[in-house]
Amino acid sequence: MTIKGVNGVVGFVDLSSGDVKKIQIPDEVYRDFLGGYGLGVWFLYTHMKPRVDPLGPGNILGIISGLLNASNIPMTGRSMVVGKSPLTGGWGDSNAGGRFGPKLLEAGLDAIFVTGVADKPVYILINNGDIHIEPATDLWGKTTGETEDELRSRYKGAQVVSIGPAGERLQLIAAIINERGRAYGRSGLGAVMGSKKLKAIVAVGDKKPEIHDRDLLRQKIKEMLDALRTTRAKAYEIWHKYGTISTLDTSVLSGDAPIKNWAGIGVRDYGTKNLELFGTNTVIKDNVKPYGCASCPVACGAWIRRQTRYGLVENGHRLEYETASLFGPALLNADQDSVVYAGELCNMYGLDTISTANVVGFAFELYEKGILTEKDVGFPLKWGDPDAVVKLVELIGKAEGIGKILGQGVKRAAELIGRGAEQYAMHVGGQELPAHHPQFLPGLAITYTGDPTPGRHTAGGVHWWGEGGKRLWAPFDIGVDLGASPKYDYADKGRKAAIIAMSTQVENSLGFCQFASQVIYRTLPYIDLIYAVTGIKYTPQELLRVGHRIHTLRQLFNVREGVNPARDFRLPKRVLEPFPEGPLANVKLTEEDVERMRAQYWETLGWDPATGYPRRKTVEELGLAEIASDVLAILPP
């Protein structure tokens, strides 16, 4: 093992047989795929059989550290979860802050992968390189907070990821939680963990991997910290104070935030009066103490305390934008007690707040249209009713009554309910949409429909990296000037989105936080940072090629699983319907516009623009032909 900064070892646990292995990872895998999503997709593609049931024993769930998690580089605390998604039937991944990724490295592993199904509930203990399967019958049924508290009391200095009752009961919108609310929320991977009867994974250790060039690393860290006090001080000040909630008011009034299950208009239906009751400045009043994720000086999170009429939220996390927007304005709900409590319920039950709030809005509209009745639900559903919001979240978390159906996500719930419910299910490929409207930032339409994990605003594209501004940027110096991407000029948007998507795969796989690093720093010296930690030296083009390789293997996973991206990943018609009034009234974004942008995106990646399948030539050029030999024959040339 010549590469530094990592252990070069991953764990592989078969819960059906009880077999525990430690697998050495060759240097070239790190060079070609980095860590995080890259290492995750390499492992799953090479170790998992095709076409397995996402909730069956054959699925592999992986939790992977970012390549730079052990470096103390600011904002490199993100770790990732991967597996076959029960929501989309294809590649699933999710990303969270907290401290689990760095602790996993200190515990002696770069990742832990789990297959099979245990006979009884278990947790996995990783302790300074040793891996044990431990009974968890006493933890089954507990919330994520209760589980984490118990396991951290047993193991000093431990970090814990766990599922709550929603994951145990196979709710497809279940999340995996660490630090009482840092959520691996998307792709339904909490349900995968629950299907394995795996309650938690515990990491304990104190052995940091060796650093290649500590002097260079110190220099680069100092430069980044100095910028917080000088050139980036204003951005730092805002992000430290508000975090993602900083955009809530402007998103509602600009049309960015979807309203009433994507049928409303924020400035008309919610407006400034409601933002005075529940908006950016009311949310931060609950702050008790700011906190940061591992190695992050920005500290954009905050612990809160709020005595709501539903119960006390103590040591809770301040609302993030998605949670606040989708449980608040999207439901015409200006009651802060209910939004805070609903967010806390999601953290404790282990639910993705994006999917959960979307499914609540879906249920509200079905009730309004007479498709669901009070007899079906047990109580009335009315837009803006805070009590109904909280009751529905509790039912979803417990998988009781109508909540059992809604917890399957809007696509599956609509199929189960029938009676025309499908037209009100706002999703792409089975995954609910985030609180950002493509008519406000059209680049989102490309990412929502073009990425291997659909319906994701953090997957990489022009919308995040300066769309509508003077010029685009990328997470690192890619050696290409992308110029500007005017909001409603669709001509070259797909090409630029593809280049940024490749660079975003690098960002994620290193463990960088998109939020803090992009808002505050924008472009960072990845090449120097990677070299200082690992000893691997890339050119900008080589590093971008790594991102291209990761991105393409994620899509090849979809191909192997029978996903048809061109057919399955499409925006709901409602999302493209013109607004009759409000700030987006003059926007024209058609299905044909989206198709053209997505085709250009896929073409730039070397994927077939008609199907989204990677071309055989691209697969060969990226060195993936041997790995993906099982699908080569069905790929376009």
Q: SS3 of 115, please?
A: strand
141: Cα separation from own chain's centroid: 25
Q: Which helix (H) or strand (E) holds 567?
A: helix 565-568
Dihedral angle computed from the Cα positions of residues 600, 632, 427 and 180, in that order, rounded to the nearest 10 degrees: -110
Question: What's the mean pLDDT in 165-184?
Answer: 99
Give pLDDT tens digits for 94-145. Answer: 999 999 999 999 999 999 999 999 999 999 999 999 999 999 999 999 999 9
Phi, psi of 261 (to 5 degrees): 55, 40
**HSE-up (13 A, CA, CB side) for residue 474:** 27
Q: How far is 594 from 597, CA to CA, in rounded Å? A: 5
Question: What's the mean pLDDT in 403-407?
Answer: 99
Query: Based on C-alpha coordinates, what's the Rg of the chain?
Result: 23
- pLDDT for 341 equals 99
Q: pTM above 0.95?
A: yes
Is the pLDDT score of 465 beyond 80? yes
Spatial neighbors of 546 by CB under 8 A, at least 6 apart, are 31, 32, 33, 34, 38, 505, 506, 509, 538
- pLDDT for 464 equals 86
Is the pLDDT score of 350 beyond 90? yes
Give pLDDT tens digits for 290-334. Answer: 999 999 999 999 999 999 999 999 999 999 999 999 999 999 999
- pLDDT for 267 equals 97
Dihedral angle computed from the Cα positions of residues 299, 301, 307 and 309, in that order, rounded to the nearest 10 degrees: 170
Is the pLDDT score of 187 beyond 80? yes
Residue 487 corresponds to which amino acid? K
Instruction: Find out whether 95 and 566 touch, Cβ atoms under 8 Å.
Output: no
Confidence label for 348 from pLDDT (cuts 50, 70 and 90): very high
Q: Which helix (H) or strand (E) holds 576?
A: helix 573-576
Instruction: Find out whether 211 and 532 touch, Cβ atoms under 8 Å.
Output: yes
Spatial neighbors of 295 by CB under 8 A, at least 6 apart, are 71, 72, 73, 74, 75, 76, 77, 102
Q: How far is 290 from 478, CA to CA, in rounded Å? A: 34
Give pLDDT tens digits for 603-614. Answer: 999 999 999 999
Confidence label for 474 from pLDDT (cuts 50, 70 and 90): very high
Is the pLDDT score of 520 beyond 90? no
Residue 86 corresponds to which amino acid? P
Q: How far is 272 from 488, CA to CA, in rounded Å? A: 27
- pLDDT for 567 equals 97
What is the length of the chain? 637
Phi, psi of 177 (to 5 degrees): -120, 140
Quote helix, strand, coil % in the chain, to nearest 5: 45, 15, 40
Q: How far is 314 from 464, CA to CA, in rounded Å? A: 33
Nearest of 109, 23, 25 to residue 65 by alpha carbon:
109
The 8 Å CB, 24+ separation contacts for 462-465 are 462/493, 462/496, 462/497, 462/500, 463/436, 464/500, 464/504, 464/514, 464/518, 465/500, 465/518, 465/522
Q: How far is 80 from 516, CA to CA, in rounded Å? A: 17
Count CB neighbours of 491 within 10 A.
11
Question: In sequence order, what E strands does 111-254 have?
Answer: 111-115, 122-127, 130-135, 159-162, 176-178, 182-184, 198-204
Find tokens 């220099």 and name the residue.
Answer: 219
Mean per-residue pLDDT of the chain: 98
- pLDDT for 519 equals 82
Is the pLDDT score of 518 beyond 90? no
* Domains of the chain, CATH where assigned: 9-204 (3.60.9.10), 247-432 (1.10.569.10), 443-634 (1.10.599.10)
Question: What's the mean pLDDT in 187-214?
Answer: 98
DSSP secondary structure of 44-67: HHHHS-TT--TTSTT--EEEEE-T
Q: How far is 331 from 321, CA to CA, in rounded Å? A: 14
Q: Which helix (H) or strand (E) holds 316?
A: strand 311-317
